[in-house]
């Protein structure tokens, strides 16, 4: 069962306020669902979700007090279009990822780059015919690229969690996936955290107890990949100590530790507690804590660092089968609860949130009004009391040279990335071609279109496919294991001509090495 989740954002405010309960509703009577919220560069907020029964993605821009300035629909009403995650970008624009049926009866993931005026700069669809795919999170990296975490994208049906890295123009640089074995299943991406040295992904994975193959039990799964797509570590939390439960949100402290919020499923499998786990910077489990114990049901959808010694979390809990609450929680990093603030009940739960630089917190979710879904947004201060309204005027969308109008956009995503699936369906595109074979003088070498690196060093194997690469190292190794030829080769798209007449007659293993790892090879006989 999924619970609510939240994001982390920052603004700085020093202005006059007036006391008033801070609760807003959006899309009443329009069947709207909220999926993410973020603070904009101008102290406003941006919300993404769905409207009109999931047939449009919906982007809402509000002022600091939550009043709508403009809104945009993505789609045309003839296909499902779910806006999952929106983040602001360094140029004042937005990056949006979602899931739609625009290209395929099954669902595909799309990614849209919007400029500061809410206009589309580029649009890509990750298209794998006949496969169901879901967007998780997308975020901009410090170098200006974009990293996308998603589910499904491989021909192999047992492969689920995937990462995709795009450059600033939307060109796919590399993709990485984590295959499932028969006893492990139901991976879902929940959060993505971008560090300067790489990306930490939070998923759930059903994993069997030690010494067994079935049944697989729900666990928290985290892994970190560096900026080049190399796996740094992965952790299936509770794989050795029978800790069950599902994750939702991830944050990092100034000391480098990761805190992950979710639920702790009790061993009777019928009760769960709002809980968090702590993981070291190197991916080692440190400890876990229940924020509230002895409840019928509970879970945390968000975790954030208020200070190095305090956590602020959002979630829900049921003390008994007939009563439910949504609340903000403040605790120390050991899980000792300091304060609970019961907030406006969201019957569909709170999905997302962000923190402001003045230590205030905004939570957004869904509730039912007149038999229709609507979005509900709540804001509290650092004392977990409803925030005040600001009376000072602000200038919004100053990076756009003209007023932004509310409208509907039906993207023409001509850039359909069918190549996402090509390395799996056409293995010849990942191979090194060397001919004629045998030869006594000249070799023609065709480099692979894609470079594939498989890493089995972690708990779960990771495979990275590089779509963009400039050069690699070509080696020739004799039967004694000696490297008799080595040179850097550029990826120009033109076959390489190589004179091997000086090599002694015999069999050689020609291989291509990328970032220190062999990625393709072929045996050649020199006469």
CA distance 134 to 94: 20
- Decide if 445 contacts 498 (C-beta within 8 A): yes
Residue 225 lies in a domain: yes
Same domain, 392 and 444: no
* 336 CB-contact burial (10 Å; exposed 0-12 / middle 13-18 / buried 19+): exposed
Q: Looking at residue 184, what is its pLDDT?
A: 75
Residue 464 lies in a domain: no
Same domain, 243 and 177: yes
DSSP at 130: T
Residue 456 lies in a domain: no
Same domain, 492 and 378: no
Q: Looking at residue 154, what is its pLDDT?
A: 61
Q: What tens digit of pLDDT does each residue of 28-37 get?
A: 999 999 999 9
Find the angle CA(231)-CA(237)-CA(240) to the nearest 5 degrees: 115
What CATH number is given to the structural domain containing 333? 2.120.10.10
Residue 269 lies in a domain: yes
Q: Looking at residue 306, what is its pLDDT?
A: 86
CA distance 242 to 193: 26
**Residue whose pair of structure tokens reads 């489990």 in the numeric block:** 285
CA of 324: how far to CAs of 78, 347, 378, 415, in Å? Answer: 37, 9, 17, 46
Same domain, 156 and 221: yes
Residue 12 lies in a domain: no
Residue 277 lies in a domain: yes
Residue 462 lies in a domain: no
- Model's pTM, two decimal places? 0.90
Question: What is the count of structural domains for the chain?
Answer: 2
DSSP at 419: G
What CATH number is given to the structural domain containing 474? 2.60.40.3080
Residue ranges of the chain with pLDDT lower than 70? 1-20, 153-159, 182, 357, 414-418
Residue-range definition of the domain harbouring residue 332: 17-416
Q: Looking at residue 68, what is its pLDDT?
A: 97
Instruction: Provide the sign of the torsion angle of the four alpha carbons 227, 152, 110, 220, taken in this order.
Output: negative
Q: Looking at residue 312, what is its pLDDT?
A: 93
Residue 125 lies in a domain: yes
């Amino acid at each position: 069962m999924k619970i609510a989740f939240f994001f982390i954002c920052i603004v700085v405010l020093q202005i006059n306020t007036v006391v008033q309960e801070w609760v807003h509703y959006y899309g009443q009577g329009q069947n709207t669902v909220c999926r993410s919220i973020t603070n904009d560069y101008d102290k406003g907020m941006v919300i993404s979700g769905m409207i009109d029964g999931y047939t449009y993605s919906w982007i809402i821009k509000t002022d600091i007090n939550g009043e709508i300035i403009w809104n945009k629909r993505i789609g045309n009403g003839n296909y499902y279009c779910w806006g999952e995650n929106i983040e602001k970008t360094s140029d004042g624009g937005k990056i949006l990822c979602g899931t739609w049926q625009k290209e395929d009866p099954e669902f595909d993931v799309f990614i849209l780059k919007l400029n500061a005026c809410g206009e589309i700069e580029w649009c890509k669809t990750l298209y794998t015919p006949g496969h169901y795919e879901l967007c998780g999170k997308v975020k901009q990296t410090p170098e200006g690229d974009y990293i996308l975490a998603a589910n499904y994208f491989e021909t192999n049906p047992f492969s689920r969690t995937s990462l995709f890295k795009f450059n600033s123009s939307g060109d796919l640089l590399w993709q990485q996936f984590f295959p499932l074995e028969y006893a492990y299943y139901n991976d879902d991406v929940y959060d993505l955290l971008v560090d300067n040295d790489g990306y930490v992904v939070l998923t759930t994975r059903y994993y069997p107890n030690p010494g067994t193959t079935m049944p697989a039990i729900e666990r928290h799964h985290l892994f970190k990949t560096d900026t080049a797509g190399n796996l740094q570590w992965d952790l299936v939390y509770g794989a050795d100590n029978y800790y069950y439960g599902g994750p939702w949100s991830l944050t990092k402290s100034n000391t480098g530790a990761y805190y992950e919020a979710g639920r702790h499923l009790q061993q009777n499998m019928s009760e769960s507690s709002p809980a968090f786990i702590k993981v070291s910077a190197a991916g080692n489990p440190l400890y876990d804590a229940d924020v509230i114990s002895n409840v019928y049901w509970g879970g945390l959808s968000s975790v954030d660092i208020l200070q190095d010694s305090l956590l602020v979390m959002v979630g829900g809990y049921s003390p008994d089968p007939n009563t439910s609450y949504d609340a903000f929680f403040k605790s120390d990093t050991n899980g000792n609860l300091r304060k609970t603030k019961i907030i406006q009940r969201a019957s569909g739960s709170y999905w997302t949130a962000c923190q402001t630089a003045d230590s205030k917190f905004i939570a957004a979710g869904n509730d039912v009004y007149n038999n229709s879904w609507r979005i509900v947004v709540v804001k509290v201060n650092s004392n977990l009391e409803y925030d005040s309204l600001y009376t000072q005027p602000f200038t919004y969308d100053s990076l756009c040279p003209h007023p932004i109008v509310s409208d509907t956009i039906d993207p023409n995503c001509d850039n359909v990335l069918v190549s996402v699936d090509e390395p799996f369906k056409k293995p010849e595109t990942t191979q090194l071609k060397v001919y004629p074979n045998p030869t006594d003088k000249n070799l023609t070498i065709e480099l692979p279109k894609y470079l594939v690196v498989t890493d089995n060093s972690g708990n779960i194997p990771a495979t990275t496919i590089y779509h963009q690469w400039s050069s690699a190292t070509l080696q020739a190794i004799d039967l004694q294991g000696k490297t008799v030829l080595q040179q850097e080769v550029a990826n120009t798209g033109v076959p390489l001509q190589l004179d091997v007449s000086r090599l002694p007659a015999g069999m050689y293993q020609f291989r291509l090495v990328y970032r220190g790892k062999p990625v393709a090879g072929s045996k050649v006989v020199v006469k």
